């Protein structure tokens, strides 16, 4: 719609925002009318109309099989559009049109904002299935007529009240029509069922909805008063009411077709099961985070015990082996600490990598600079945990064997992520140092070093990736890892 309005019309940005506000609301008008809606806006030169938005009803058959957005028609071809635009009134005159052997009633509703008519809504009703209307259908049609008059007068939609139609109640979820005093004159079967879920034992018709709703809600005091006022339909608001184990969502729409409030529409939806599942998920997420937090604490306790044991070791080799174990346990603890702060089992690995680099850098024998370039991105927990251990082992190996005591140097960890959307992703990791390089005849796939054995096992076995160590130019060692990962979202 933005592109069409800016390309073909003279409407301002504030006018365009008004049209967006209207389009966010007009599913309700379409459903209440049992009709298709097409929004036509006059072009810059005033000789044509361009259709910038379209809506089909959920409550009846469509009148348009094809998409109408982007169509251009000259003035004069559709007289009802001309009359509504020029006279600023709702136009219903004329015989039904026949489209593919289907009779269609066409009406035009001017869209007004601050006294100016911005465009026209063409309301098209498929008459093929017309029958004697029920009371529900009559209520729908009367409410649609009231909303259409408010659109023509510029009093609907309500400024600053843009609605998320995916989250808000719709007409089919449950509808109540109130009079000017807030008394229910009609309640659809779904609306009545929703209130029975709250504990209502009688019919809704004839009852003051605000008072009834406040009595069904378990809270007392100012909250009751607010709920009662909203349910009475005095202002365009949304809220949720909980009682008797049930939860319903309410949306009030004041009706002022001629500038004076004659009553209101209250849409309602039973969201009991939805909220129950959300609470279960919140509880489950909290439990998972608590588990990760406790695992992290336990791993830190193990690391502290190993560190304490290392201090009491007389053997230099044994002390160093325990310190390596401390770092391995610490790398896993970092992952669990990050997971304990997240709502899902995915982590931003860049933060983990930086903490692993800082932890391993503490063992640097000299002035070796360690840094990271590129981004690892978000990884699943089952990838992040072994990858943190792999990174720990490779960095630890580089700092211990590539540089002599007191020697300066540089170790750089780089990460490149490929794959997005639905494509398979790969993560390429390179660890490059400018140290002494690999020994003559060194084979990384056969080396018996425990650290390299851990790296091979985790990368090839658990992560399903590849691992290699190569001489770097002009000196040093380059470690290359490539592992499959979930695509970025």
Q: pLDDT digits over 398-442, tens only?
A: 887 777 766 778 889 999 988 654 446 889 999 998 888 888 777
pLDDT > 70: percent of the chain: 93
Residues 468/417, Cβ–Cβ less than 8 Å: no
Identify the pLDDT of residue 165.
67
Residues 35/63, Cβ–Cβ less than 8 Å: yes
Q: Which residue has the higher pLDDT, 268 or 406?
A: 268
Q: How confident is the model at residue 280 (pLDDT cuts 50, 70, 90)?
A: confident
Starting from the edge strand earliest in sequence, which strands make up the sheet with 237-243, in order? 184-187, 175-179, 263-270, 246-255, 237-243
For residues 433 and 411, give the distance between their C-alpha atoms in angstroms, rounded to a whole number. Answer: 4
Identify the pLDDT of residue 29.
95
Residues 479/428, Cβ–Cβ less than 8 Å: no
Identify the pLDDT of residue 23.
94
Q: How confident is the model at residue 470 (pLDDT cuts 50, 70, 90)?
A: confident
Closest CA to 389 of 467, 475, 486: 467
DSSP category for residue 168: S
Residue 289, pLDDT above cutoff 50: yes
For residues 357 and 363, give the distance between their C-alpha atoms in angstroms, rounded to a whole number. Answer: 11
Name the 3-class secondary structure at 324: helix
Identify the pLDDT of residue 86.
94
For residues 21 and 29, give the distance between their C-alpha atoms in angstroms, rounded to a whole number. Answer: 13
Q: How confident is the model at residue 173 (pLDDT cuts 50, 70, 90)?
A: very high
Residue 81, pLDDT above cutoff 60: yes
Output the pTM of the full model.
0.65
When pLDDT is averaged across residues 99-127 and rounded to a whole number, the result is 92
When pLDDT is averaged across residues 2-13 and rounded to a whole number, the result is 94
Name the 3-class secondary structure at 204: coil
For residues 303 and 323, give the distance between their C-alpha atoms in angstroms, rounded to a whole number. Answer: 9
Identify the pLDDT of residue 422.
47
Alpha helices in 112-208 (DSSP H): 135-153, 189-198
Q: How confident is the model at residue 294 (pLDDT cuts 50, 70, 90)?
A: confident
For residues 298 and 440, give the distance between their C-alpha atoms in angstroms, rounded to a whole number. Answer: 42
Identify the pLDDT of residue 162.
67
Name the 3-class secondary structure at 65: coil
Average pLDDT, the chain: 87
Residue 224, pLDDT above cutoff 60: no
Over the stretch 306-336, which tens digit does the pLDDT of each residue have?
888 888 888 888 888 888 888 888 888 887 7
When pLDDT is averaged across residues 351-367 and rounded to a whole number, the result is 79
């Amino acid at each position: 719609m933005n592109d069409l309005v800016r390309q073909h019309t003279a409407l301002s940005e504030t006018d365009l925002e008004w049209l967006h506000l209207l389009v966010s609301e007009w599913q309700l008008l379409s459903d209440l009318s049992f009709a298709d809606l097409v929004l036509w806006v006059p072009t810059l030169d005033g000789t044509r109309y361009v259709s910038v938005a379209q809506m089909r009803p959920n409550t009846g058959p469509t009148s348009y099989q094809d998409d109408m957005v982007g169509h251009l028609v000259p003035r004069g071809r559709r007289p009802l559009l001309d009359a509504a635009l020029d006279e600023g009134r709702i136009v219903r005159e004329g015989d039904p049109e026949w489209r593919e052997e289907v009779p269609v009633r066409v009406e035009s509703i001017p869209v007004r904002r601050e006294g100016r008519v911005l465009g026209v809504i063409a309301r098209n009703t498929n008459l093929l299935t017309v029958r004697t209307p029920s009371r529900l259908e009559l209520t729908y049609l009367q409410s649609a007529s009231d909303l259409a008059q408010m659109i023509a007068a510029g009093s609907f939609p309500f400024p600053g009240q843009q609605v998320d139609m995916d989250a808000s109640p719709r007409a089919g979820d449950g509808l109540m029509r109130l009079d000017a005093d807030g008394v229910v004159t009609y309640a659809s079967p779904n609306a009545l069922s929703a209130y029975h879920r709250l504990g209502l034992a009688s019919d809704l018709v004839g009852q003051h909805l605000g008072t009834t709703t406040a009595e069904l809600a378990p809270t007392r005091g100012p909250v009751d008063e607010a709920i009662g006022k909203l349910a009475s339909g005095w202002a365009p608001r949304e809220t949720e009411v909980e009682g008797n184990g049930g939860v319903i969502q309410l949306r009030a729409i004041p009706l002022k077709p001629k500038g004076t409030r004659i009553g209101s529409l209250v849409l309602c939806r039973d969201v009991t099961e939805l909220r129950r599942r959300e609470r279960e998920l919140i509880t489950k997420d909290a439990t998972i985070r608590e588990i990760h937090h406790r695992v992290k604490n336990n791993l830190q306790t193990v690391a502290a015990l190993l560190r304490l044991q290392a201090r009491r070791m007389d053997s230099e080799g044994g002390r160093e082996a325990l310190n390596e174990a401390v770092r391995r346990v610490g790398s896993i603890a970092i992952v669990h600490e990050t997971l304990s702060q997240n709502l899902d089992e995915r982590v931003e690995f860049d933060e983990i990598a930086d903490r692993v680099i800082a932890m391993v850098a503490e063992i640097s024998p000299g002035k070796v600079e360690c840094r990271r370039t590129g981004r690892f991105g978000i990884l699943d927990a089952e990838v992040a945990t072994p990858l943190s251990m792999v990174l720990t082992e490779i960095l630890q190996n580089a700092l211990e064997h590539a540089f002599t005591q007191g020697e300066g140097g540089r170790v750089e960890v780089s990460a490149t992520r490929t794959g997005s959307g639905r494509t398979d992703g790969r993560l390429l990791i390179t660890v490059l140092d400018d140290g002494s390089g690999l020994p003559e005849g060194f084979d990384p796939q056969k080396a018996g070093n425990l650290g390299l054995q851990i790296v091979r096992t985790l990368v090839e076995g658990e992560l399903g990736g590849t691992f290699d160590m190569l001489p770097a130019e002009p000196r040093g060692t380059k470690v290359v890892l490539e592992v499959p990962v979930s695509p970025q979202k």
